[in-house]
Each structure stands twice: as structure tokens, then as C-alpha cells.
Amino acid sequence: MSKRIVIKDIDPNAYKAMAALEKYMAGSQLSYVAKGLIKIRASQINGCAYCIQIHTQDARKAGETEQRIYALSAWWESPLFSDEEKALLAVTDEITRITDKGLSDQTYAMVSKHFSESEIAAIIMQIVIINAWNRIAIATHLQHPIK
């Protein structure tokens, strides 16, 4: 891949704004597991290798199993995820693929069974934020050092 701009060097205020969103999410009521599932799944859909690497490493450190991480690509068929997690992942898929059909009424009703309105707001914000990071990383060919 060819070298591209590094936005955080060229426009540090843009990165500060993104960091502020991350700080907001860190204080949200959404569980660390839920945030991790959203970040990994959206990054899989978007094909963001940089974010997949970062967020799978973070998930492993937090105790997530390899088996569940691998199963995320087919979460809807996996018995490894609870109904609550499947609702969360369905929302992640539909918002990440927003041009397909948007967030359907059926999926919204499903997530509403498991999460409060404020939790749904946090879920949507986490999905929006990781999709923004994915687009930054992909557009700039951001590379993560392999460890």
C-alpha cells in the first residue's frame, strides 16, 4: 500500500475531537464487552484490518474468548452469543450497512427488549464512532505494527 497522509499529524484537532467521542463512550453505561463486540463487528464489515487487530487484542486482554471473536463473522448462527448480544450485533450490522435498509423496525424492536433508551443511544453512538475510525484508517492506509 502506498503511503498516505497522517491526519493526526496534519490536523491534530480532528483527532482531539475523535478522542473526545472516545472519552464520552468510555463513561457510557454500555459494557466493555458490548463496546468490544460493536468495534470488532463493524470493523469486520468495513474491512478495517487496523481496527480489527486493535480491538481483538483489547478484547482478548479483557477476557473475551478466541472462539467468540472468531464466531463474530457469523454471530446470527452462533450459540455463543446471548439474545441481548445478538440484538446488539444486529443493530451494529444494520447501522454499519446503513445504505442497505437502515435500522429496521424489527431490529429496533428487538434491541428495545434488551436495552433502555439511553443504552440504545450509547449503542448507536459507539457504532457511529467505530465506523468513523474505520473510515479514517481505511482512507489513510493506517498500519498497525504486528506484534
pLDDT tens for the 147 residues of the chain, in order: 677 889 989 999 999 999 999 999 999 999 999 999 999 999 999 999 999 999 999 999 999 999 999 999 999 999 999 999 999 999 999 999 999 999 999 999 999 999 999 999 999 999 999 999 999 999 999 887 665
b/e map of 101-134 (b: 16 or more CB within 10 Å)? eebeeebeebbeeebeeebbebbbbbbbbbbebb
C-alpha cell at 27: 463513561
> Could you tell me if 96 and 80 are in contact, meaning their C-beta atoms sit under 8 angstroms apart?
no
Question: What is the end-to-end Cα distance of the chain in Å, rounded?
Answer: 19
pTM of the model: 0.94
CA–CA separation, 130 and 114 (whole Å): 22
CA–CA separation, 96 and 37 (whole Å): 13
C-alpha cell at 85: 448480544
